[in-house]
Amino acid sequence: QVQLVESGGGVVQPGGSLRLSCVASGFTFSRSDMYWVRQAPGKGLEWAASITFDETDKYYVDSVKGRFIISRDNSKNTLYLQMNSLRVDDTATYYCAKKGAAWGNWFDPWGQGTRVTVSS
């Protein structure tokens, strides 16, 4: 079955960096657009970044532009999120998700998430 497993979260000081990974299995990763969605503690969902299957296009929510970089390695079935200049308000659980269908940009499935805490 389709599975997404995130890792790389942790505690980091403001201004620091982290790289999140998401290993995919059970589908043809190299043909699927992928997403990162985050959820601050006790808050709702916020789309953070997207990448097309071939890395041609990358998109970011305004609040992370210039600080986060989404990338992928199709040979390793892995999605990444490089997070730089981290701020306290980046504290959240970060989920990776797969594009639900070729014709529709819903998110399905989601990984279990990895928690990022930015604190001094």
Partner 1 sequence: DIVMTQSPATLSVSPGERATFSCRASHDIGRNVAWYRQKPGQAPSLLIYDASTRATGIPARFSGSASGTEFTLTIISLQSEDFALYYCQQYFTWPPFTFGGGTKVEI
Binding partner 1 (rule: CB under 8 A), the pick from 61, 77, 82, 84 is 61
Which window, 11-19, 57-65, 68-76, 78-86, contacts partner 1 (CB under 8 A)? 57-65
Residue 106 lies near partner 1 (rule: CB under 8 A)? yes
Query: Strand 114-118 and strand 58-60: pairing?
Result: unpaired
Residue 111 lies near partner 1 (rule: CB under 8 A)? yes
The least distance separating partner 1 from the CB of residue 9, rounded to whole angstroms, comes to 14
Q: Site map for partner 1, 12-51, x if CB under 8 A?
A: -----------------------x-x------xxxx--x-
Residue 101 lies near partner 1 (rule: CB under 8 A)? yes
Instruction: Compute the distance between CA of residue 52 and CA of residue 34 in angstroms, rounded to an integer.
Output: 7
Query: Strand 114-118 and strand 10-12: pairing?
Result: parallel
* Residues engaged in binding partner 1 (CB under 8 A): 35, 37, 44-47, 50, 59-62, 95, 100-101, 104-113
